[in-house]
Amino acid sequence: MSQPLEGRSAIVTGAGRGLGRVEALELARLGAAVVVNDHGRPGRDGSGEASAAPAEEVAREIRTAGGTALAHTGDVSDFAAARDLVELAVTEFGTLDILVNNAGILRDRMVFSMTEEEWDSVIRVHLKGHFNTTRFAAAHWRERSKAAGGPVYGRIVNTSSEAFLAGSAGQPNYAAAKGGVVGLTTSTALALAKYGVTANVICPRARTRMTEDVFAGLGLPDEGLDPLAPEHVAPLVGYLASPAAARINGQLLVVHGGMVAVVERPRVRAVFESKLETFSHEELDAVLTPHYAGRPEGETFAAAEVLGLRRGAVTEAGDGNR
């Protein structure tokens, strides 16, 4: 029986641990040959000595299960290392079909205390790292499409966060980076659609080294799979990487604990038009102040207004391009 990704090749970044690991295992289970990328620094803040061990262990795990995998230990926030990563997949497997961007670090601090280095490092790994690999993968698919005279097979799955959707007070760098990943994804989806390539982005909720503080108060269940296990996320990544998801492009999906929520683009809540040639301060005060009256001071929006986070809250899913 053929597998949906048989004959395809994939790159998964940050795949030595956590979400990236289970995503790499899932793509391999579905038949893809996988380049397992991880820089291997032990600290979730990107600190410590780089190590080849995490990437090599996952690649070995895939091969032991009968799959095909290679390890790559470069830092995807480095432009040249990202180029080498894509070239490795193309050289070893003949082509690149799937790119899953997952690598990231945390350096949390309130905005009034954050250092320039804490800001730059998180933006570099998350946002620039996503761009770097996407840039070289996109160039590969464009060249293949021109040579073939038509669309080719290409899938990008990027990783954002609910910190972008609902805010996270102590993570201005992380929230900004994850918002940037969404913008990068939707732009890439539009640019590459004519070449046969799709680009989508997920907001996963999972218990990993990156989220150990967030879910510290939520214990493991007495039996069964942890609702926050990364294994709940991997099937969606495998699906989005597959031929079955050909009509899904430029989409943002939240996934956790057996739930997938399709997030709509922002909607306009209200429109106010000036009765004069342009607005004055007084007229804006007259229309906007009453509109926000009664809201708690300092409120921007509640997470529940953005997406249904409770299981069963999403009643209709969208598909295709938007």
Catalytic residues: 161, 174, 178
List of residues 6+ apart from 219 with CB closer than 8 A: none
- Whether 8 contacts 31, CB under 8 Å: yes
Instruction: Return d(Cα 260, Cα 190) in angstroms, integer.
Output: 23
Show the tokens assigned to 90. 């193309």
Hey, is 145 helix, strand or coil? Answer: helix
List of residues 6+ apart from 181 with CB closer than 8 A: 101, 126, 127, 130, 158, 159, 160, 164, 201
Residue 203, beta-bridge partner list: 254
Are β-strands 69-72 and 9-12 bridged in parallel, bridged antiparallel, or unpaired?
Answer: unpaired
